[in-house]
Chain A
């Protein structure tokens, strides 16, 4: 299956706040970042954590966030490893 996002793609994380295990920390929910690279496919942790043997397998991406976008200030970057279904595309006409 082809990767949905290429390196350099602008993405936004979902704002979801699930009642179960997830690997999208709350500080990075609903935030815009840039894909660094694909990391390889892995079972979606949210489903795998429930002990099901049939968790969907998705591409995981390293996604880079500017501190300013996460915290409103700061000049560092934070990179997170995020499953494809945590991410949506940011359209070109979005500022």
Chain B
């Protein structure tokens, strides 16, 4: 992993000096940064994506709307309002497994998944998942049957992708909240099953 050898205290002071300079020069107002951070964290969490998936599992008509127009469907649930990005939800089936990456930077559905895990931003993941997805998924402990087709979605423009995982077989009687609790962040990226 890159970046283990750098001094948090040093860069922390540089960030603070920049904040001070920007306030002195009237570029940023005093509370602007705290507001931006609070707003970001308040509207970005993997719990959002998990709730969307649970709803799709229990409500077939929501699921078809979600697959047809992801942005509009999650807006029904109050997510991604005012976002300039488009959401495309890709469904895992018995024959197809989807996995998300951004090889050029780190594009990711922040509003639905929260800040991304370190591995998603790593050169190892970004370089290899488009070339040898099966080997990469195995490193996450996900072994797919030989016949399963893998689709890798490399987000290179303003669409953000999220995986709709397969619903586990033993969950017919589960209420929606309990289903949502089963859905992990990795499952929403495609590096795990539920």
Contacts and interface: CB of A to CB of B under 8 A. Distances in A.
Contact of A78 (B86, B152, B158, B159): B152
Interface in B108-164: 130-134, 149-159
Interface in A46-65: 60, 62, 64
A64 B130 CA distance: 12
Main secondary structure of the interface of B (DSSP, over half): mixed
A77 B149 CA distance: 8
Q: Give chain B's interface residue range (CB within 8 Å of chain A).
A: 20 to 34
Interface string A22-49: 0111010000000000011010010000
Contact of B158 (A27, A40, A74, A77): A40
A95 B134 CA distance: 29
A85 to B, nearest CB: 12
A81 B151 contact: no
Contacts of B86: 39-40
Contacts of B131: 27, 71, 74
Interface string A51-95: 000000000101010000011001111111111000000000000
A42 B149 contact: no
A24 B156 contact: yes
Contact of A76 (B104, B152, B155, B159): B152
Chief secondary structure at chain A's binding surface: strand
Contact of B150 (A25, A40, A77, A82): A77
Nearest to B151: A77
Contact of A83 (B88, B103, B157): B157
Given A42-B157, A82-B157, A23 B104 contact: yes
Nearest to B104: A25
A79 B96 CA distance: 14
A70 B131 CA distance: 9
Closest 8 CB pairs of A and B: A81-B157, A76-B150, A60-B157, A23-B156, A81-B156, A78-B152, A77-B151, A79-B153
